[in-house]
Amino acid sequence: MPKPYSAMMDEINGRLKGKVGDDRAKEIRLLLKEIQFDVGDYRKIKDKLRRELKEIETVEQAKKASRKTGHTKKETPQFVVIGAANSGKSTLINNLCGTDFLVADYPYTTTEPQYGALKHDKVNFQLVELPAIYEGCWDGDKSHLAIIHSTDCLLILGRSIKDFKLVLAELKKNNIHVKSERMEDGFIQTNPRTIPAFIVYDKKLEVMLSTGLKMVSNEDLETVRNTMVEVTKPVRIFTMDSFNKIEDFPIVFFKDQLTIKDVTKKIGKGKVEIFKDAIVLEGGSNGRRKRVGISYELADGDVVHLTFNK
């Protein structure tokens, strides 16, 4: 006999509570198999689960493809979106990523982490929305705090100065500090934990908060996207073949001092040992052309053609 909609949702939320990433995807697949009916409210539930599963799979695939060994940690930085109740987290991610997270005018609509993916200015980003922050929200269950600890950047939302003070106080209470941009060597883990962040505020906010972080209006989505790039400071290196064809998509690094050796190591194991030289177009296809060695320092937008000894 079919269960009532509310009972089904309570059971689903209970089974998904505290699960993220692959674990959450696995549980969703089990739920989809177990829900035998596909009409009415049951169809709505299954459609919602399918959408969430697709979003998680997209993000997890990006993580696995981008988290590689070496000096560069990843090509897909992750932003965790946090804020007080009704601060507009779901709406912002929906607008940025084209997702369909539930948005309502009552507090604590989001009860579990939600995932989205965004590509902007030739850089892939992962976004994770956490449930609303309130005083003492991480005193018991630390699972959401663990997500913040392991992320690369924070995007802090609020509709009032009170909202921002609450969020910043909870971060400080849990020994998490924020700064305006990433560290020189990328998204390294620090102790105490220091995380790059910026603030997205509601247009009705009349008084700005002094935090040292960049503040962007929630109505200016293009600036929000551009700020994600500014905070992460990507170095995008384009490769070129022997016929002077430049690849459309770059290899992305997140470190201040990047050399030809880093690019060579990224392309493949053992390539450094047979490296011969490289041609660099400074700043892009119309840049000055020069032949360089393996220790040459690169800048964002440079085009590289590597040659190797046979």
Model confidence, pTM: 0.72
Query: Does 57 score more than 60 pLDDT?
Result: yes
Centre a 10 Å sphere on the Cβ of residue 146 and count the other Cβ atoms it contains: 13
Q: Tell me, what amino acid is at 26?
A: K
Domain with CATH 3.40.50.300 in the chain: 70-232
pLDDT band at 211 (very low <50, low <70, confident <90, very high): confident
Tokens of 157: 């939302």
β-strand pairing of 153-158 with 78-83: parallel
> What class has domain 70-232?
alpha beta
pLDDT at residue number 135: 94
Give the integer Cα–Cα distance in Å for 41 and 37.
Answer: 9
By the 10 Å C-beta count (0-12 exposed, 13-18 middle, 19+ buried), 269 is classed as: exposed
Note the helical H segments in the chain.
5-16, 21-34, 40-66, 89-97, 143-150, 161-173, 221-232, 260-267
Query: Does 12 score more than 60 pLDDT?
Result: yes
What integer best gives the mean pLDDT of the chain?
A: 86
pLDDT digits 0-9 by tens, 225-242 = 999 999 999 999 999 988
Tokens of 210: 């002094």
Domain with CATH 3.10.20.30 in the chain: 235-308
The packing angle between helices 221-232 and 89-97, to 10°, is 90
pLDDT digits 0-9 by tens, 119-137 = 999 999 999 999 999 999 9
Centre a 10 Å sphere on the Cβ of residue 241 and count the other Cβ atoms it contains: 9
Query: Does 107 score more than 90 pLDDT?
Result: no
CATH topology for the 235-308 domain: Ubiquitin-like (UB roll) (3.10.20)
86: left (phi over 0), alpha (psi -120 to 50) or beta: left
